[in-house]
Chains A and B, each alone.
Chain A
Amino acid sequence: MVICNPFGQEYIRAHRSLRELAKRLAETGFHVLRFDYFGCGDSGGDGDEATLDQWLRDISAAIAEVQETSSSPKFALVGLRLGATLSALLAAQRGDVERLVLWDPILDGAAYLKELRVAHEGWLRDHAQGRRGAAEGEPLREALGFSISPALASCVEQLRLVPDDWPSAKALVIDHRSFPGAQVWVHEDGVNRILVPHAVLESITSWLGSACS
């Protein structure tokens, strides 16, 4: 299993939940790898050097690593938010992804950037004493504490995903609306108190357990 992180503030807030997911999957008997994309988390590079192409290559490097560790060519990708979208893109490119878990994937990159812009502007207005974000029409270069390079923004802008394209035997799509309170990547408790979406993690673990047996 390779777990693909969300981006930026969502990554920070979801860290604990994804660690817990990895632990549960490992307890079920899977080899699991969590990692940070280039320019994110503990990995090398600055945020403003990041590109989607690099992140797709990073996921492939993680796949190679888990294949070597497990001595098995079979692998699954589990992605949250932008990580889910990247997982789906890579799965379509490679064709050898055994199973796919798309947890609240970003379906429309342009809408996602717009959401980030609004959230960033709102945060500054409420917490940063008059500092303004990017003006209307100006490119978004940072959101909620994280840098967005022009290359990253233009690739995210183009992202479109139709999760129904994936056969249900091969992919599990998790929609937080079926799990009230499970939006850990935006929930304030994801940053101040330890919040773990047990029902979501249970769904993922049991589906992968039966789909990969």
Chain B
Amino acid sequence: MLLRERTLLFGDAKSLVGIITEPAPSDEVQARPAVILLNSGILHRVGPNRLHVRLARRLAEAGFPVMRFDYSGIGDSRPRTDSAPFARSALAETRECMDLLAASRRVRKFLLAGICSGADSALSAGAQDDRVTGVALIEPYAIPGPAFPLYQYRRQILDPRSWWRLLRGRSEILGSLRAHPAEPAPSDPPAAASAALEPTPDFDSIVPSRGEFVRRVKGLVERGAGVCFVYSSESPAYFNYLVLLRREMRRPRAKGRVRVQVLKQTDHVFTPLAVQDVLVETVRDWALTIGS
């Protein structure tokens, strides 16, 4: 399918930079919600491993207009002149993006998707805006909590491959306990004067408490929105899902409102290309069930 990509500048000062990927116009396309892909941490709008570009094009081939843009101070978007905290500015800018597409493309419904902190942004904006009919939460950020190392340890003890690696001197069984110390790990050595850290958005500010996380997801499901969770099987985020939501989501999953995809042998940002392929198809298939 022929796709069209354009750069859009929007926001009060036209300082937010986004790229919209659109299918060739047709009646079917008019009916589809728009998909908005939200920044993962400080990575610019192409996404980790260029996944946002792949997602945008694949979704546009399926008939969705897709926008990927940079929040203020990230990628090519200028920093804000006010001192709004990231939690507030991200929410406002996601809404501005929806307003832009509503005005210029006559879109009435939106699907929000994000990886890592982008998932937290999607959940936050989705919970507060009825125009959002679905959110794809891909490896949402999660504070592991004290129970996570024990969970990981138990899984590894039960995995025969772990014992084989232990015998060969390459065990991660003990490492799993060391990897999540009670105290925060020391940060990287301070950058020398020749390279300096610039003000970075406070991404922790958009991580909901566990109770709020559950409330937001349940709120979305209760109002009929679709939710797609995609996890790396070993991640703290998946552990959070198992502990906090698995039981709650049993019925919505059975009704097709909630989809959970767990990908094995991958990292938090889906480095292996074979896993990226599965991720892209998962989100596309989910969007088609929600947005058709």
Contact = CB atoms under 8 A, between A and B. Distances in A.
Query: Do A and B originate from a single complex?
Result: yes
Interface of A: 9, 12, 15-16, 19, 40-42, 44, 47, 120, 123-124, 127-131, 141-142, 144-147, 179-184, 187-189, 191-200
B113 to A, nearest CB: 18
* Chain B interface SS verdict (over half): loop
A127 B195 contact: no
A195 B197 contact: yes
A180 B46 contact: no
B45 interface: yes
Contacts of A181: 191-195
A179 B43 contact: no
9 contacts: A12-B49, A40-B50, A131-B265, A131-B266, A141-B273, A181-B191, A191-B42, A194-B198, A194-B200
B144 to A, nearest CB: 15
Contact of A146 (B42, B49, B161): B49
A130 B265 contact: yes
Nearest to A20: B198
Contact of A128 (B42, B53, B267, B276): B267
Interface residues of B, number: 39
Contact of A127 (B43, B53, B268): B268
A141 B270 CA distance: 16
B35 to A, nearest CB: 17
Contact of A145 (B161, B264, B269): B269
Given A179-B194, A192-B42, A200-B194, A129 B264 contact: yes
Interface string B265-289: 1111111110010000000000000
A41 B188 CA distance: 28
Contacts of A191: 41-43
Contacts of A141: 273
B196 A198 contact: yes
Given A128-B271, A145-B269, A189-B191, A195 B196 contact: yes
Interface in B237-270: 264-270
A182 to B, nearest CB: 4
Contact of A129 (B45, B48, B265, B276): B265
Contacts of B43: 12, 15, 191
A189 B271 contact: no
Given A128-B272, A193-B42, A180 B196 contact: no
Contacts of B5: 42, 44
A180 B265 contact: no
